[in-house]
Structure formats: C-alpha cells, structure tokens
C-alpha cells in the first residue's frame, strides 16, 4: 500500500457511468481498478429509476462491497468514489458519494481534489443557517448550489464552482443528469470513455480498461460536461487556464497502465529513469528499483545506462492490513516488513537504487541500510523526480513542511542521512521532458510541491487566468522552469 511506504496519499478516485444496466456493478469494478487512489473508504450511489440509492463504507473496495447485493442496486446510472482519509477524518459520514435526499430533487456528489477556501465558505453558509454534517469540501459545494437554486442545473453548478478555488474533479448525479467538471487549471485528472452506448467517467483510464470501456477524451480545464438521455453536452463554467496536470500523478500516484492527458504513466516513468541516467550516471554494477512504483524508472535507467536491471529488492505480496507489525525489538533484530533484499543479487555489488520520490527520507534510509546489510558494497540513490520542498494545497496529503527532508537539508546532508554513497534527483526540466510531449495538450505541469510555484491561490477569483499569477512562494528559479 503506497500509504505505508511514502507519506504521500492521494485523496480520491471518482467514477461515473450513464446508460448501462449493470451500472452499480461496473462502478464497483471501476473503483476497484482505482483502489490505489484511496484505501480508507468507498461508496457508490445508483439511480434505480425511482430514486438514488447509496452503498458505502469504511475500508477497501472489497471490504465495503463484499456483502453488497447488486441485485438491490439495479439501475442504469451510478457514480462512485474511493477515499484516502487524513488522520481524524476516517469516519463513515465523510465517505463519498454524499447523497442528499430531498422531496424536491435528490443529488449525489463525488469529488477528487481540494478546495482551498472551503473553511471560509462553510462559515458563511453556517451563518446563513445551513447545517453541514461532514467535514468534506464536497458538502460545501452542495450547499452553494442549493443556495442559488431549488434545482441543480448547469447554472447552479457553475455558480457554485466559481465561488471555490482549488483543484478538483467533480461528479454530480441528479435524478435525470450526470455532471462532470474539472478545475480551471486542469490540475486533477478526469477522463471520458465509452462502453458501447454508455458513457463512462473516471479519474484514471485504467478504470476503463478494467471494464472493457474505451478512452474517448479528457475533461478539459474549466469544462462542465452534462450527460443525460440526450447524450453528452459540453459547456464552460470558467475560462480555461493553462492546463497544468499534477506532476505527482505521473511520478507516483497513477497506475502505470493509465494514460493521463494522453501520456502513458509507465512510459513517462521509464523516460524519467532515462533522463535521470543522463543527468546523473553512476559507476555501478546493477540497477535496482524499489517496488512497485519505481520499477518503470529503474528499467529506464538500466536501458539508458547499459547496466543490468536486477531484482534486488522484493515486496511481499501478502502484506495486507491485518499484518501483525513486528515490535521495535524484533525489527532491530532484522525482522522485515514488506520489503526484503535479494541477497544473492546485491551481495558484493555496487548498486544503483532507483526510487520515485523522497518525502521524509525515512523509508529510503531503511532500504539503503537493508541493501548494505545484504552485502551491497555501494549504494547510489537516484530519485526519479525533483526534490519535494513545498506543501500541496490541491488534494495530495504530503508530510508537513517540517518533515520534508529536501526542504530542510542540502543534497549532501540528505546523502549522509540516508546512508548512501551518492544521491541525485531528477531536474524539473528532466521531469517536464518526460511528461510533456505535446504543448497543445500540456501547457505545463503543476509541480508546486517541487518548485513552490502555485498555479491557484486562495485569493484567486478562479477567472481562468490563474496561470499567469504569482504563486504563493512564487518567483523562484524552479518556478520559472515550468
């Protein structure tokens, strides 16, 4: 589980389907494909032709749906959500989709992202007498819509979203329509596919492959898509800014088989490995990747450098949530958790160890120790992404500033702290080259956590021109590179 290895957690994956008789079941499979985007809760809301029904719960998709009776969730339209909770928010009430039953018009909302001004908006709503039941940004948007209009429609949605600033992909289901929207800078991903005549919407294209659907296009920045029995209509709720997809989607978050903004994630990672090999070669015997997320980059590094790729670290496939953690005493004696070195491969070797990113450095340190303990004569750490030095306000839960090793220490200090013989990071330019293939698709990437250049700020009016504004910590050299 990514959450154990890194201190980065994606907060969500969303899925929607319109026009298939097995809508709820396909939503289940779609969510399952995006399980890596959130392991703390899952849910779906189906329109059974008469009303909206909800099935949700805490835990993994399989936990939540293992006793689901899909026969009781029949209907042609559904939306679903997988959720990664922050400490203290792991309660049932926060699991999405949020369903609001009403005598007038019921609706369900699911969101992947973060609204930076949610607290202020919530406060304003409560002073007007509204009652909010969750700590979810998503509920704020529901209230904003209802304040504007009895009926949820394009106008109400546009009005509500324009009061927010942040990064998001939204799905809104009413009795007769399914809406999908992406933030004006296109920071969070959302794609449209087809499954026969049915429409499918998902955070990642791997959900399409899982159910046999075919990718059609991405939802554009600032676009509001309306799907109904009349087909798909597109409108804009905001002027389109420069499209700046979150770089961490490529580096770590998305599944390697997904295409994000027309770029395959595995291919971009492999390219990051190649760029890294060019930028920071190492005199070593073998290349080893930290499973699973760094394998693509490691293969790329090996290919570019000409060094053999070896399986020097292995991941136990049976480590799940119920794994009994070894005590500190046993860990010090060498009892491993989920990663183990392959002694036969690394003993006596100079090893290039590829990892996708470093947040606090603690995991990296443990792996270096493990390799050395298994006999590696040298360990050269190569990180297939730039240093993470700034917090994310757009929905990725990383460590706080104080914990970010690259924000607080020099490269040489980091090398020393993790016990490596050398350490290098990919440059921001190298990262961009690995991701941006076509400037008509990507005007840039959001690498705010690496550069401190934030495409959206809380005082943003979300006019769509945010691309040109000064970031929170803007003006840095890194920022200019993007």
Spell out the alpha helix ranges (H) of 149-283. 154-163, 206-211, 247-248, 265-279
Binding-site member from 159, 236, 326, 399 for a second copy (CB under 8 A): 326
Using CA atoms, how far apart are residues 361 and 376, in angstroms rounded to an integer? 20
Q: Does 89 bind a second copy (CB under 8 A)?
A: no
Binding-site member from 241, 341, 386, 395 for a second copy (CB under 8 A): 341
Binding to a second copy, residues 347-376 (CB under 8 A): 374
**Nearest-5° angle of CA 391, CA 393, CA 395?**
110
The reply, when asked if residue 364 is annotated as ligand binding, is: no
Q: Which stretch binds a second copy (CB under 8 A): 3-11, 168-176, 234-242, 265-273?
A: 265-273
Q: What is the β-pairing status of strands 378-383 and 422-425?
A: parallel
Closest distance of CB 143 from a second copy, Å:
6
Q: Is 12 a catalytic residue?
A: yes
State the helix-helix crossing angle for 428-435 and 265-279, rounded to 10 degrees. 140
Q: Does 49 bind a second copy (CB under 8 A)?
A: no
The reply, when asked if residue 355 is annotated as ligand binding, is: yes
Q: Does 342 bind a second copy (CB under 8 A)?
A: yes
Distance of CA 473 to the CA centre of its chain: 23
Q: Does 22 bind a second copy (CB under 8 A)?
A: yes
Q: Classify 305 as helix, strand or coil.
A: helix
Binding to a second copy, residues 27-46 (CB under 8 A): 28-29, 32-33, 35-36
Using CA atoms, how far apart are residues 80 and 26, in angstroms rounded to an integer? 10
CB neighbour class for 379 (10 Å; exposed up to 12, middle 13-18, buried from 19): buried
Closest distance of CB 344 from a second copy, Å:
3
Q: Which stretch binds a second copy (CB under 8 A): 157-165, 262-270, 407-415, 467-475?
A: 262-270
Using CA atoms, how far apart are residues 27 and 18, in angstroms rounded to an integer? 10
How many other CB atoms sit within 10 Å of the CB of residue 402?
8
Closest distance of CB 96 from a second copy, Å:
13
Binding-site member from 50, 71, 87, 131 for a second copy (CB under 8 A): 131
Tell me whether the omega of the peptide bond preceding residue 292 falls within 30 degrees of 0, making it cis.
Answer: yes
Copy the structure tokens of residue 481.
Answer: 């590179």
Nearer to a second copy by Cβ, of 202 and 428: the residue is 202
CB 147 within 8 A of CB 159: no
The reply, when asked if residue 206 is annotated as ligand binding, is: no
Binding mask 269-298 for a second copy (x = CB under 8 A): -x---------------------x--xx--
CB 374 within 8 A of CB 167: no
Q: Does 175 bind a second copy (CB under 8 A)?
A: no
Closest distance of CB 324 from a second copy, Å:
6
Task: For residue 373, give the H/E element and its range.
Answer: helix 362-373
Binding-site member from 330, 400, 463, 475 for a second copy (CB under 8 A): 330
Nearer to a second copy by Cβ, of 132 and 239: the residue is 132
Using CA atoms, how far apart are residues 48 and 41, in angstroms rounded to an integer? 23
Nearer to a second copy by Cβ, of 49 and 212: the residue is 212
Using CA atoms, how far apart are residues 454 and 448, in angstroms rounded to an integer? 5
Q: Does 118 bind a second copy (CB under 8 A)?
A: no
Binding-site member from 12, 24, 26, 384 for a second copy (CB under 8 A): 26
Cα–Cα nearest to 284, from 147, 101, 160, 422: 422
The sign of the dihedral angle between the CA atoms of 220, 94, 246, 314 is negative
Binding to a second copy, residues 441-460 (CB under 8 A): none
Q: Does 169 bind a second copy (CB under 8 A)?
A: no
Nearer to a second copy by Cβ, of 14 and 24: the residue is 24
The reply, when asked if residue 165 is annotated as ligand binding, is: no
Cα–Cα nearest to 276, from 380, 371, 419, 405: 380
Q: Does 123 bind a second copy (CB under 8 A)?
A: yes
Residue 414 neighbours by CB under 8 Å, 6+ apart: 358, 361, 405, 406, 423
The reply, when asked if residue 246 is annotated as ligand binding, is: yes
Distance of CA 456 to the CA centre of its chain: 18
Using CA atoms, how far apart are residues 122 and 354, in angstroms rounded to an integer? 44
Copy the structure tokens of residue 312.
Answer: 């020097």
Q: Which stretch binds a second copy (CB under 8 A): 173-181, 251-259, 358-366, 464-472?
A: 251-259
Closest distance of CB 405 from a second copy, Å:
27
Closest distance of CB 408 from a second copy, Å:
31
Q: Does 102 bind a second copy (CB under 8 A)?
A: yes
Closest distance of CB 170 from a second copy, Å:
17
Catalytic residue among 12, 182, 224, 353: 12
- Binding-site residues: 246, 293, 355-356, 392, 446, 449
- Binding-site residues for Mg(2+): 293, 355-356
- Binding-site residues for [4Fe-4S] cluster: 246, 392, 446, 449
Active-site residue list: 12
């Amino acid at each position: 589980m990514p959450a154990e290895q890194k201190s980065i957690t994606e907060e969500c994956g969303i899925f929607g389907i319109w026009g298939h008789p097995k809508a709820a079941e396909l939503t289940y499979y779609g969510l399952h494909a995006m399980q890596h985007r959130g392991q703390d809760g899952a849910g779906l809301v189906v329109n059974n032709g008469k009303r909206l029904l909800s099935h949700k719960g805490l835990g993994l998709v399989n936990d939540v749906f293992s006793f689901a009776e899909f026969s009781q969730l029949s209907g042609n339209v559904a939306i679903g959500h997988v959720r990664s909770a922050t400490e203290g928010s792991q309660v049932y009430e926060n699991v999405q989709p949020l369903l609001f039953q009403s005598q007038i018009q019921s609706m369900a909302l699911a969101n992947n992202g973060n609204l930076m001004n949610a607290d202020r908006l919530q406060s304003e709503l409560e002073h007007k007498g509204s009652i909010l039941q969750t700590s979810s940004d998503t509920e704020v948007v529901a209230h904003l819509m209802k304040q504007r209009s009895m009926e949820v429609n394009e106008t109400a949605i546009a009005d509500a979203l324009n009061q927010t600033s942040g990064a998001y992909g939204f799905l809104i289901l009413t009795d007769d329509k399914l809406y999908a929207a992406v933030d004006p800078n296109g920071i969070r991903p959302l794609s449209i596919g087809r499954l026969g005549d049915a429409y499918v919407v998902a955070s990642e294209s791997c959900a399409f492959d899982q159910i046999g659907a075919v990718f059609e296009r991405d939802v554009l920045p600032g676009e509001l898509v309306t799907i109904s029995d009349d087909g798909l209509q597109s409108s804009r709720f905001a002027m389109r800014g420069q499209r700046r997809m979150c770089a961490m989607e490529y580096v770590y978050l998305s599944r390697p088989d997904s295409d994000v903004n027309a770029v395959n994630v595995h291919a971009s990672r492999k390219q990051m490995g190649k760029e890294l090999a060019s930028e920071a070669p190492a005199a070593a015997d073998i290349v080893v990747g930290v499973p699973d997320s760094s394998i693509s980059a490691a293969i790329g590094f090996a290919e570019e450098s000409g060094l053999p790729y070896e399986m020097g670290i292995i991941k136990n496939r049976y480590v799940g949530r119920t794994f009994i953690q070894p005590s500190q005493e046993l860990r010090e004696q060498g009892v491993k958790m989920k990663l183990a070195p392959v002694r036969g491969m690394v003993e006596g070797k100079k090893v290039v160890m590829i990892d996708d990113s470093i947040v606090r450095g603690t995991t990296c340190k443990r792996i270096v120790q493990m390799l050395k303990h298994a006999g590696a004569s040298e360990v050269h750490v190569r990180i297939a992404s730039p240093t993470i030095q700034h917090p994310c306000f757009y929905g990725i839960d990383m460590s706080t500033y104080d914990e970010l090793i690259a924000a607080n220490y020099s490269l040489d200090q980091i090398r020393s702290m993790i016990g490596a013989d050398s350490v290098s990071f990919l440059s921001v330019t190298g990262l961009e080259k690995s991701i941006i293939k076509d400037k008509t698709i990507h005007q840039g990437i959001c690498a705010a956590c690496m550069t401190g250049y934030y495409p959206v700020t809380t005082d943003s009016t979300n006019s769509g021109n945010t691309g040109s504004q000064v970031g929170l910590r803007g003006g840095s050299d890194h920022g200019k590179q993007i």
